[in-house]
Amino acid sequence: MPSSPPSSRHRELGLTDGEFELIVEKLGREPNPTELAMFSLMWSEHCAYKHSRRLLRTLPTEGARVVMGPGENAGAVDVGGGLAVAFKVESHNHPSAVEPFQGAATGVGGILRDVFAVGARPIAILDSLRFGELASPRSRYLLERAVAGIGHYGNSIGVATVGGEIAFEGPYEQNCLVNAMCLGLAPHDALIRSAAAGPGNLLVLFGASTGRDGIGGASVLASAELGELDGAKRPTVQIGDPFEEKKLLECSLELLQRGLLGSLQDLGAAGLTSSAAEMASKGGVGLDLDVGLVPLREADMEPFEVMVSESQERMLCVVEPERLDAVLEVCARWETLATAIGRVTAGGTLRVLRGGEPVAELPVGALVDECPLYDLHPAPPAVALYPAPPATLAAGATPGQTLLELLGSPNLASRRWAFEQYDCLVGSRTVRRPGDADAAVLLLGELAAEGDAVPALGVAIDGNGRRVACDPYRGAVEAVLECSANLACVGAEPLGLTNCLNFGNPEKPHVAWQMTRAVAGLGDACRALGVPVVGGNVSLYNEGADGPIYPTPVVGMVGELPDARRAGRLGFARAGDTVALLRASGWAPSLGGSELSKLRGEPLATSLPAAELGELRALHAAVRQGVRSGVLRSAHDVAEGGVAMAVAECCLAGGLGAELAIADGEDPWATCFGEGPGGFVVSGEMPALSAFGDALVVLGPVAGEVLALRCGELELTLGVAELAAVHERGLSARMG
């Protein structure tokens, strides 16, 4: 990097000519090679959010339960009893497309550090994954290795992976998505922020030593489109060590518990450059940092390499001088390398030294706060962006054949192949594991004596790129509604939301339009439901030679349950119970953009059903209360595959059949298999269900070992055992 010709060096590092001129203007001189490398990272899309920051400011972030909002390593909300839950979702898309095992593993490691960097102990991981169609050997390889990487890191460090989602669509073939979410618990007074303060205080780096792995990762991989030479980018993917991170986690939490740190920041994208500069910016101070004191794996590293290395399992903290010995003693006990590498200064300058000699001297404001922000120029696409998928369902398929094809399709088949590679029980907090319910449920405390309420958390993660590609605004609204509905089905009330916005190249008008409309949908849905956005991540330039990915805003939502013993399940619980449909008055599911339309090989729809957000908020509250009171013995929202798929999943989860009839409406296929927010399949005793009034449509009883479903002239009769066999092998058989 330092030896590149001056005329092109900044372009090779991802800076435009205009940005380079602005840097020269702010410095009053040309930057030296180390300074230019630092600017290239801090002004990259991944670190500066230069195409998305203005959009993100439109999202609602205030709420009565918000303890820590956007701007910190993770957001946090109050969950009562003096506790806060910290949570965040982040992407590791481009690294995973290049090296899926390490890309996914270090994505998990990074999101764990984000959570314990604010002082919370991680208790659970969820993941949201997108790959090309499973017929593709590349997609199968990426899936297999990414799932292995997630399992390796989470299982090794001892944090339960409790939920997630996987989708397969053609537009993700060259650019898979690996989004990881983590949540952790902390007493309110244990939370810590990352702002550096106190001139004279020491800057201490602790954790793993620094190497060349990950150099340029943030600017090269996450701020540019993936091309055909992915293999050449392989050295920029970080290498993770979960056992090192486990020591780092425990060491960090002990340091915080003992009150030894003034601030704490993890080293992620852009390494020391980002962590040091952002700490200084938030605190309104300067820093002197000596790269000659940084413990290295390779002795010949140049200053710019030390500053931009993204080696994993490292933390940076501010320590008062009189507490340094105590900090070093704790780190030594945890066998965690720790070194004082600099100090806080009164000025607003970040100075990088080597052996006491300056190698870089930059205004913190210019590096962090003064990156140019770009206006988007949105315009709807003039032509269809995405080709119709190949048809996989035979023309003239019967309703029974259609349901079996849906159950065995890659997007809807059982995820057991994946989640059995994850430890979902470690930590002894898991109340509802994958497949038991629409959302994961985690204990806040310990199970007490019989009859005593045990508070718990519900957590869900969701998104549907195909739906957003059809209608970016309504598709994003649906993502928020889906998470809220999932929480309602376990009895949890939403407290806060985090998101990961995965889009293509924002400099292209059609991608800018997708982003603008999707963020507007997220904001409107969150305001209507009263759910604040407490943090998140943006991943752009997700596209290859064939075009952009589906626009994919992924939403993670956390809610509270007053009693874990009352947590809902999706499976039918008792023969003789009544199965019913709870739905909004305007609920009108359609086949456009549905899973059935994909199996039929139909082009994407250009619109989705509208949602009356106020009514849906009330409906979710009614379902939530029904679960908490025990009136609803099972609850499952109608999503992909429609009502037919939802009732089949309830049969499979409970091991019971049902005899059901649905009013056919104008289009029985849309009634059975259409999609759109606002419907729940529930079960319970009929006298109690009648309290839901006109929102309730009785479908029939839970009975026997067969699902019999009638909707107008459409009829199907399938044994639960046959449904289970098709559902179970849909993914695993394709993986070999």
pLDDT digits (tens, 9 = 90+) for 572-621: 999 999 999 999 998 999 999 999 999 999 999 999 999 999 999 999 99
Structure tokens, 202: 């020491």
CA distances from 25 to 6, 32, 169, 253, 622 (A): 16, 14, 46, 43, 59
Is the C-alpha dihedral spanning 104, 109, 115, 117 positive or negative? negative
Per-residue model confidence (pLDDT) at position 11: 87
User: How far lies 422's CA from each of 15, 185, 387, 724, in Å?
Assistant: 40, 21, 35, 22
Q: How many helices (H) and strands (E) does the chain have?
A: 24, 28
Q: With 90 as the cut, is the pLDDT of residue 534 above it? A: yes
pLDDT tens per residue, range 9-52: 888 888 999 999 999 999 999 999 999 999 999 999 888 999 99
Q: What residues contact 685, with CB distance under 8 A and at least 6 apart?
A: 577, 578, 631, 633
**Cα–Cα dist 42/56, whole Å:** 18
Active site residues per annotation = 46, 92
Best CATH choice for the domain 6-51+193-368 from the list 2.40.50.100, 3.40.605.10, 3.30.70.890, 3.90.650.10: 3.90.650.10
**pLDDT band for position 232 (cuts 50, 70, 90):** very low
**Topology alike, domains 6-51+193-368 and 578-735:** yes
pLDDT tops 50 at residue 1: no
In the prediction, which pLDDT does 268 show?
A: 85
Beta-bridge partner residues of 122: 184
In a 3-state reduction of DSSP, which class is residue 520? helix
What are the extents of the domains in the chain?
6-51+193-368, 61-190+414-566, 578-735
Summarize the confidence of residues 685-694 as an average pLDDT: 94
Spell out the residues 6+ positions from residue 731 whose beta carbon is closer than 8 angstroms to its own. 134, 410, 413, 414, 415, 416, 417, 418
3-state secondary structure of 99: coil
- Cβ atoms 417, 735 nearer than 8 A: yes
Q: What is the mean pLDDT of residues 475-483?
A: 98
> Which contacts qualify for 719-722: CB closer than 8 Å, 24 or more apart?
719/657, 720/651, 720/652, 720/655, 720/656, 720/657, 722/404
pLDDT value, residue 7: 58
Statement: residue 2 has pLDDT above 60: no
> Cβ neighbours of residue 97 under 8 Å, at least 6 residues apart?
103, 142, 174, 175, 176, 226, 230
Q: If pLDDT is split at 50, 70 and 90, which confidence band does 256 have?
A: very high
Contact 302, 359 (CB under 8 A): no
In the prediction, which pLDDT does 8 show? 76
Instruction: Return the CATH number of 578-735, one of 3.40.50.720, 3.40.50.460, 3.40.50.10800, 3.90.650.10.
Output: 3.90.650.10
| DSSP element (H, E) containing 90 | strand 83-91
For residues 718 and 716, give the distance between their C-alpha atoms in angstroms, rounded to a whole number. Answer: 7
* Beta bridge partners of residue 204, listed in sequence order: 317, 340
| Model confidence at 4: pLDDT above 50 | no
Query: Domain 61-190+414-566: which CATH class?
Result: alpha beta
- Structure letter (DSSP) for residue 605: P
How many whole angstroms separate alpha carbon 171 and alpha carbon 466? 10
